[in-house]
Chain A
Amino acid sequence: EADIYQTPRYLVIGTGKKITLECSQTMGHDKMYWYQQDPGMELHLIHYSYGVNSTEKGDLSSESTVSRIRTEHFPLTLESARPSHTSQYLCASSEQAGEAFFGQGTRLTVV
């Protein structure tokens, strides 16, 4: 069983609201990732981190931001949500060159 957790599992919010999607892992992994995935579509890397105080933007431009103050915690924040942000957000972690462990995802709907 993967020890990586995402909350909330589902979220419906209004346009303009600020939200934070939580992701925590207890495996001590240095690498963490956020992916955005529309239903049935490919995964797009939006943010990643090599370790504490390291954050990088991924291939897909995103209006979200991330922080990595602790190894186990990698939250993603949207300052002002819009309907175009409606999607599934997947968090993952891995050791340096090994398999990635994924959380169950947060399905976000912005109305």
Chain B
Amino acid sequence: SQQGEEDPQALSIQEGENATMNCSYKTSINNLQWYRQNSGRGLVHLILIRSNEREKHSGRLRVTLDTSKKSSSLLITASRAADTASYFCATDGNAGNMLTFGGGTRLMVKP
């Protein structure tokens, strides 16, 4: 069973708008990570947030983590057409579990 689930499954916005994606998970974690995947390619790591952190920034990306609700959000500010991709959250469990992924959010940014 998948550890993480993303919401929404698909998101379409105009260039310049902000995009927010949410991720929920089920069990305790060491950290939560967000990845990006362009069509037909491998995944690229975007940002990692540890279980004792609540917010992290990287360029136009902002990630929050609420361990009490077992949820995380990824905000992309001032989106660009080049941000069009699928975004996945992944959790690294604290029982030596392997990295498990959610279903992803497919983001389309219209120029």
Contacts and interface: CB of A to CB of B under 8 A. Distances in A.
B76 to A, nearest CB: 18
Interface in A1-56: 2, 31, 33, 35, 39-43, 45, 48, 50, 56
Given A45-B98, A88-B40, A90-B42, 7 more contacts: A31-B98, A40-B86, A40-B106, A42-B88, A42-B102, A92-B99, A97-B30
A100 B40 contact: no
Contact of B104 (A42, A59, A90, A97): A42
A20 to B, nearest CB: 19
Contacts, number: 63
Interface string B12-35: 000000000000000000110101
A102 B40 CA distance: 13
Interface in B63-106: 86, 88, 90, 92, 96, 98-104, 106
